[in-house]
Amino acid sequence: VVALVREEAALRADVLGLDPYDALMEQYDPGNRAADITPVFAELKTFLRDFVPEAMAVQEERLAKSPLKPLSGSYAIEKQRELGLAMMAAVGFDLTHGSLSVSHHPFCGGVPSDVRITTRYKTSDFLSALMGVLHETGHALYEQNLPKAWAHWPLGKARGMAVHESQSLFVEKQIGRNPEFWRWALPVVERHLGETWSIDDILPHVHRVERGLIRVDADEVTYPLHVILRYELEQELVSGRLEAADLPEAWDAKMRDYLGLSTIDNPADGPMQDVHWPGAAFGYFPSYTLGAMMAAQQWAALTRDHPSADEDLATGNFAAINDWRREKIWSQGSRWSTPDLLERATSEKLNAAHFTDHLKKRYGA
Query: Any idea which residues carry the catalytic annotation?
Result: 136
> Kind of pairing, strands 98-102 and 114-119?
parallel
Distance between the two ends of the chain, CA-based, in angstroms? 45
What letter represents residue 86's amino acid? Answer: A
* Rounded distance between C-alpha atoms, residue 12 and residue 1, angstroms: 16
What letters, b where the CB count within 10 A reaches 16 and e where it falls short, cover 170-193?
bbbbbbbbbbbbbbbbbeebeebb
Q: In whole angstroms, how large is the CA radius of gyration of the chain?
A: 20
Sign of the Cα pseudo-torsion (187, 355, 210, 59, in order): negative
Dihedrals phi, psi of 158, to nearest 5 degrees: -60, 145
Helices (H), the chain: 2-16, 20-25, 34-65, 77-91, 126-144, 161-169, 179-193, 199-206, 223-239, 247-259, 286-305, 309-314, 319-328, 338-346, 352-363
Yes or no: say if 222 and 211 are a contact pair by the CB < 8 Å rule: yes
* Rounded distance between C-alpha atoms, residue 25 and residue 23, angstroms: 6
Could you give the 3-state DSSP secondary structure of residue 117?
A: strand
Neighbours of 5 (CB within 10 A): 19
CA–CA distances in Å: residue 214 to residues 34, 105, 155, 303: 25, 14, 36, 33
Yes or no: say if 345 and 298 are a contact pair by the CB < 8 Å rule: yes
Dihedral angle, C-alpha 225, 295, 58, 195, nearest 10 ° = -120
